[in-house]
Amino acid sequence: MADTVPGGTLTLAHDLTITRMGFGAMQLAGPGVFGPPKDRDQALAVLREAVERGITHIDTSDFYGPFVVNELIKEALHPYPADLRIVTKVGARRGPDGSWNPSHEPEDLKAQVHENLQRLALDAIDVVNLRLSEEGTGEESIAEQFGALAELQKEGLIRHLGLSAASAAQLTEAQAIAPVVTVQNLYNLANRQDDALVDRCAAENIAYAAFFPLGGFTPLQSETLTNVAARLDASPQQVALAWLLQRSATTVLIPGTSSVAHLRENIAAASLVLPADALAELDTIGR
């Protein structure tokens, strides 16, 4: 394993240090994050390459596939390296047609945690994020749902808790129940609605994991981004990732890929330092 990984590490608790450049395992499943990968051997190789390159932060969920991605992680990496931290999320079930269906009943959330534990072959999960509905207003109470996960934390099945697709108000409500170490929300150069929350997470030493850092299923398209990247002799995707790492001290990245070559490009982005003029130019994209 590499001694260091570009981007450095972030310590969130005495037993939780992660590389700021992580790996999002979602894309290891089949098309639409449903079914098996097109190339199982390549998927396993990507996971092993990520760990060999020093990444200690893998983001996953049992509803990727469903089940497929966690089974790949177990096959590729178990028994897990001592410093590897696996972050999963609960709060949804997949329909037979691949649909994403919210599932927030407390007992089912607990069942989902047990399913993640079983498929990953873990006695305890490092971090479990409660995935909320992206269609919500951000004002819905999450006390019952987050409280159910806090019960499992007290039982020793979960080490740390986080939120996904959450508002500032929901973060505050959750913190009254148990400490929150991660917030995982949609955020990138073109989607800046969470600016204040990014700053709050930095002030409170909460990891802010920007999902869809490259725009998601509709990749970022920006002439400004393309021009900055050309000046810096980097790809637009690398510049977008580097911008996120420089956005705040607790921003962490979980870009996904099913390609070893693409994984290496993403990791290299963490070494890219953006000069002040490039940052100012890039800031105009989302404002």
- Rounded Cα gap, residues 27 and 43, in angstroms: 9
DSSP 164-232: ES--HHHHHHHHTTS-EEEEEEE-BTTB-TTHHHHHHHHHTT-EEEEESTT-TTS----HHHHHHHHHH
| Radius of gyration of the chain measured on its C-alpha atoms | 18
- Which of 257, 260, 255, 254 has its CA nearest to residue 45? 260
* Distance (Å, whole) CA 241 – CA 223: 16
Count Cβ atoms within 10 A of the Cβ of residue 31 and give its class: 0-12 exposed, 13-18 middle, 19 or more buried: exposed
Judge whether 80 counts as a catalytic residue. Answer: no
Question: In sequence order, what are the beta bridge partners of 180?
Answer: 161
> Catalytic: which of 64, 80, 187, 208?
64
| Bond preceding residue 255 cis, omega within 30 of 0 | no
Q: Which residues are catalytic?
A: 64
